[in-house]
Amino acid sequence: MTYDSFCARVRALARRAGFAPVFSHEDGRHIARFPGGVTVTGNTVSPRVFVKWGSGHTALASI
């Protein structure tokens, strides 16, 4: 998905939870960082994102 699409989808999910992510992109990856250490990483090829939180917890999610 495009960077703009990634930002819009993550922002919509974050709004429901009441958080404000900080977005960046590097090396072909789209990254959203949330307060508390949650990181959502996507790319230009797949609609799935990689979510990391806590002490080593990870998940794949479709957004």
What does the alpha-carbon distance between residue 4 and residue 20 come to, in Å, rounded to a whole number? 16
The pLDDT of residue 28 is 87
Class of residue 22 by CB neighbours under 10 A (exposed 0-12, middle 13-18, buried 19+): exposed
The pLDDT of residue 16 is 86
Is the full-model pTM beyond 0.85? yes
pLDDT digits (tens, 9 = 90+) for 4-62: 999 999 999 898 888 889 999 998 899 999 988 899 999 999 889 999 998 889 999 99
Domain spans of the chain? 3-62
The pLDDT of residue 63 is 86
